[in-house]
Amino acid sequence: MKKAVVVGGGISGLATAWLLREKAHAAGIELEITLLEKERQAGGKIKSIRDDGYLCEWGPNGFLDSKPQTLDLCRALGVDGRLLRSNDNARKRFIYSEGVLHRLPENGPSFLKSDLISWPGKLRLALEPTPFIARAPKGDETLAAFGRRRLGDEALKKLIAPMVSGIFAGDPETMSLQSCFPRIAELEREYGGLVRAMVKLAKKKKQELAEGKVVASAAGPGGILTSFRGGIQELTDILTDRLGDGIVAADETVERISAGKSVPYRVMSDRGELDADLVILATPAYASASMLSDLDAYMSHLLDDIPYSSMTVVCFGYERERIARDLDGFGYLIPKEEKMNTLGTLWDSSIFEGRAPEGQVLLRSMLGGACFPGYIGLSDDEVRQRVMGDLKSIMGIEAEPSFIRIFRHEKAIPQYIVGHNDRVTALEEKLKSHPGLYLTGNSYRGIGLNDCVAAAHRTSDDAIAHLKQR
């Protein structure tokens, strides 16, 4: 019987272990799988905390149903009937600029009417499909450079930069277009511009729909934010339960991976040693770097070069009647130029039902990120005062919150800075010299939940193909 060790019990490790077991069984391969997780509870950064009638998400709050990966996993687990779609409010998103919450335009007419971008800024945007815009440079490009080149400085500051901080907690001046938004880079290469791409793909979609086909949209990720009634942790709890205690070993820290004697690899933890034909590291890049330092110093160095941003998540609960403004929306993001303390605030109880007690609302604010790394060291009282100050300025909330929870992530989100794609390519090339060793997770080719599940599929497929060859 072959043996596989999966290290890391977040969504990436759990999904990989479950898919590996299912695919091994389908292929007739006898495979003993062990998943090692250093925390006492599997789930990684996915935690849904029920407290005083509120449901607070410690990390991500769901996934978009516009991509099939996580939906298909839920169907395979037989739990798709338990999914909870976000309210229609989630379509309404806002940017705070020059003292006003501006609804993010959803189409051309609403964009023209919006005061978010000035008329000079709109005219600059109108130049995007013209020959006056410089062509993409060879090699990688920062998101900031792309934004200035194609859309103008105002669009960069008020549209692109807040989106980058909201998704990656990142700095557009360092983040890579190719790694963060490869589809956008592809559209520019293929069509010569974003507007041209959208027009041509819209025509193509209309034609293929008439022929009974379906084509993907050129626009952003789209889709409906999806979770579970008990929070997104239900998914990792279900995977943990389906794998069972015989596979998942919690509260065990892997310290080192080395070459084995009778089998390819030996996994050494604080509880003992395991021999393995397959080792799958579903841990953050910095953790994987430490484990692989003896086995492959160069690979360890590449992994250690992937930076992470910090993040502080703050949940505030209020009596609904204490908040005067409408909460019909997803929430808002804040450009750095506004000099606020928070990156933005989600109106969680407006997005999903059951997130706050009757008559209460739950707001979730984010501080820190790559642009404000020092915020992770703020005391609870400083965090509370800064968030309250922003909520007062932006939403007019004078009341003290009746519920407060603060969650700190010193290394929250991997930063796909310029050169990230080359680094990942080098890692993939180096892995060829270590058959049966795999890296998966959000450190490489996508940070979202859908990306992690898609990577779990690729990793489990590659692992099964490797076992078939032996």
Mean of per-residue pLDDT scores for the chain: 94
Residue by residue, DSSP assigns 130-158 as STTSPPPPSS--BHHHHHHHHT-HHHIII
**Average pLDDT of 285-308?**
98
What does the pLDDT read at residue 205?
66
Does the pLDDT of residue 81 top 50, yes or no? yes
pLDDT > 90: what percent of the chain?
A: 86
Q: Which tokens hold the place of 209?
A: 């729909």
For residue range 367-382, what is the model confidence (pLDDT) as tens digits? 999 999 999 999 999 9
For residue range 337-364, what is the model confidence (pLDDT) as tens digits? 999 999 999 999 999 999 999 999 999 9
For residue range 195-233, what is the model confidence (pLDDT) as tens digits? 888 888 877 766 655 655 433 333 345 689 999 999 999
- Taking the domains of the chain in order of start, what are their residue ranges? 2-44+233-306+418-469, 117-210
For residue range 437-452, what is the model confidence (pLDDT) as tens digits? 999 999 999 999 999 9
Q: Which CATH superfamily is domain 2-44+233-306+418-469 in?
A: FAD/NAD(P)-binding domain (3.50.50.60)
What number of other Cβ atoms are within 10 A of residue 357's Cβ? 16
**Average pLDDT of 35-62?**
96
The CATH topology of domain 117-210 is protoporphyrinogen ix oxidase, domain 3 (1.10.3110)
Lowest average pLDDT, out of 30-39, 131-140, 205-214, 457-466, goes to 205-214
Q: Please, what sign has the CA dihedral across residues 447, 448, 451, 455? A: positive
